[in-house]
Structure 1
């Protein structure tokens, strides 16, 4: 063999290393005890870490190049046919978030017009009006000194906005039912995943009954929304109208109630839970970082001068948006996601075997010090145009990326910017004495204890 032919051989992929774990269980107990800390430690093994989660071979891919490979360049090799998504399908069925292939593509094409920038801008007035009503509630609490729970307030607000803007429905009367049901489902789904409890909740136990009852409660809420809208089948320009009036190009059939329910459940939960958590983190982080809060107030005074914000002013609220972006970096609501590997592949030079699981963690990647110096520090100016351009695209991915990027990302970013601007003009939420701001990793990443705050004046 010549030296030339040997040199031309492709370099074989390396075998990734990672935490050893226990026989049979692998690292399941470690993840159950501290999923965020465990992921950070696992990323220390390199851009791809290999481990056993229960009986399953798994990989944590943390480097932006690997994320680009999985989410964009070779996306068809990494599917949502994974037991983690099977659990989510128990809640939202096979909607746009969980579906694959042609089914997903058809759903995406159908939903895309509802998220056109012009349509989203037209929803701004609804967002601000709802937020201004919450501001009046905060003002009342400000006078009495009564504490509020930031997570609850943000959940109620974003649920109302999603109902009005995307579903054309007033769901305020359903807020408590949705919150209670989702709390049960979120806690149980998280526990079932981390303990590798894969069987569906069909047993006659109190635990399984609680899940079924919560799931049915959500479906009842959605059924009421759909029934009301079917009574007036006109195009109101919202997402639900588009789904209800759409017809299959080949058969002429419209969506049946089950399909419609799956899409509404997806938008109802994904469209309010994640944004509410991101905003909750904004208030907690601003309370801990008075210099950033002062800069935010200065911008709001300059741009708005005491007026309520409009869609036209959102591009001028540059620092406000950076505050939101930095909160999403530190505490991304979707802090971990999974994919099933279809066929053997090489990621960042490491072997990834078909049939295994790949996990991606925005929480981890957003803390890699080579892209985020002093990563635990809250610093909105990480998102100046210059700093953004200097980082790889997938160093920051709170809304994922590639063709499966969150369809509602622009909706959520405008909504979040308008809510921050409306409330921060008048109020300064302060953490109650004795409360420690810390993450609670359930289905999404929220502040522990629902963020108790007192409302003070600017």
Structure 2
């Protein structure tokens, strides 16, 4: 049977729908799913894109047809000035395979268990700092900013065995600036970032600040100044990466090490900051779910700080995290480049297409998620998970290029949430506005999440 041609979205709009895509990316895609179904093409400013929005499509692109697709796609070209040749965005499959082989042993659940104490102790220190805040500071916390600093302290203590409290905010600001520039450019790629504009200068300054942070820590370790801070019995990730070798005995060079460390900092920071911000916001808006979370934490922990070994018993806590990742995945979109012509669900996918996978929309697909906009941690009860296709839920991607930090992130998110829930609540301030998602390269709570801290 001859493949059908894809329906076209935005064909009658100026620049192939580019202005509508720029104005409201998620709204544009959602509206065209309603009009055309789960597969359609559009070409903002002439860039050929295909949206694929069904679990079968995900299986086909990321798993079964993985050799027919690569990361030489528009969205990764946009972020590559920041991420360079790190695991997140590298397009060369051979180089990616080499890096993944070298790094994967350091991100297994067993290895991550050694970093669990970093996650809980830093969260405890954050809570102690919150409690010491002077009353004049008010009782409303900028939760997104606070969790961002926590995330950077955890990842850098795990990566470098270092206290980076003073540098955390500078790195956070630099990444936020880069994310805004690149998110805006992805939605409307004009003028080119190579042009000498104010936007390009902001991006260059942000990249320089992040590079300065990473290179400084690596330089200190190699010079021996930071070597004494790591426990030989529990080496940090930087030590492990410095001693990693491929099958042929070669190690990664310093430039590649820099790229991978930067990717790890950004990936871990973004996932934790946004997921926990949204989780506390959703719990504040759904007190019954919050009560059930507290009941579990009280029963399992009896007031003590959680440990890695508690994770199998913190089942509802993990469901809260999973449901938050369903509704507001930080990595809410990814993309693949079609290396050759393909057929998906009877439709022709032209060679060279940028195939967009948007989990914000996939995770709201009414065929797999009843009442998809409602926060319901029971969506992740075992019987419901078993009844859904595997690829209806992809917060960390899938296939060979699934996020290497998945176990680290889920461990950190679950332990940090349980640590806070032991003795504290975060409540909506009076008259608090609804927080809307802001789709940049990653998905942010627009304006940040601001909540009141109270003791339980």
* Global fold match (TM > 0.5): yes
Tell me the equivalent position of 1:419.
416
SS in 2 for 1:243: helix
1:68 to 54, 59, 74: 59
Gaps of 5+ in 1: 1-10
SS in 2 for 1:450: coil
* Cα distance in structure 2, aligned partners of 1:98 and 1:316: 35
Q: CA deviation at 1:43?
A: 2.1
Count matched residues: 446
Alpha-carbon contact 1:201-1:211 (below 8 Å) kept: no
* Cα distance in structure 2, aligned partners of 1:141 and 1:161: 21
Tell me the equivalent position of 2:363.
366
Q: CA deviation at 1:23?
A: 6.1
Tell me the equivalent position of 2:443.
445
**Pairwise mapping of residues 227-266 of structure 1 onto structure 2 (< 5 A)?**
227-232=219-224, 237-247=235-245, 249-250=247-248, 253-266=250-263
With the length of structure 2 as denominator, give the TM-score of the two structures.
0.94
2:306 to 305, 309, 325: 309
With the length of structure 1 as denominator, give the TM-score of the two structures.
0.93
Tell me the equivalent position of 1:394.
391
1:94 to 58, 61, 85: 85
* Cα distance in structure 1, aligned partners of 2:114 and 2:8: 49
Tell me the equivalent position of 1:298.
295
Tell me the equivalent position of 1:28.
18
* Cα distance in structure 1, aligned partners of 2:298 and 2:27: 39
SS in 2 for 1:449: coil
Aligned Cα root-mean-square deviation (Å): 1.8
* Cα distance in structure 1, aligned partners of 2:25 and 2:161: 38
Alpha-carbon contact 1:21-1:27 (below 8 Å) kept: yes
Tell me the equivalent position of 1:208.
200
- 1:336-361 deviations in whole A, cap 9, x for unaligned? 11111111111122111101110001
Q: Determine whether 1:123 maps to 2:112.
A: no
Q: CA deviation at 1:288?
A: 0.5
* Cα distance in structure 2, aligned partners of 1:140 and 1:16: 59
Q: CA deviation at 1:115?
A: 0.7
Tell me the equivalent position of 1:289.
286
Q: Determine whether 1:39 maps to 2:32.
A: no
**Structure 1 pair 77–142 and aligned structure 2 pair: CA distance change class (3 A):** farther
Alpha-carbon contact 1:142-1:457 (below 8 Å) kept: no
SS in 1 for 2:444: strand
* Cα distance in structure 2, aligned partners of 1:64 and 1:412: 23
Q: CA deviation at 1:70?
A: 0.5
Alpha-carbon contact 1:66-1:347 (below 8 Å) kept: yes
- 1:77-117 deviations in whole A, cap 9, x for unaligned? 11111232122110021111112311000111111111121
* Cα distance in structure 1, aligned partners of 2:291 and 2:98: 46
Tell me the equivalent position of 1:7.
none
* Cα distance in structure 1, aligned partners of 2:20 and 2:346: 27
Tell me the equivalent position of 1:162.
155
Alpha-carbon contact 1:17-1:49 (below 8 Å) kept: yes
Tell me the equivalent position of 2:171.
178
Tell me the equivalent position of 1:15.
5
- 1:191-220 deviations in whole A, cap 9, x for unaligned? 1111113733451x3332121111101100
**Structure 1 pair 319–142 and aligned structure 2 pair: CA distance change class (3 A):** farther
SS in 2 for 1:50: strand
* Cα distance in structure 1, aligned partners of 2:110 and 2:252: 26
Q: CA deviation at 1:57?
A: 2.4
- Once structures 1 and 2 are overlaid, which stretch shifts more, 93-102 or 138-147? 138-147
* Cα distance in structure 2, aligned partners of 1:376 and 1:141: 36
2:72 to 81, 90, 97: 81
* Cα distance in structure 1, aligned partners of 2:282 and 2:49: 33
2:375 to 370, 378, 383: 378
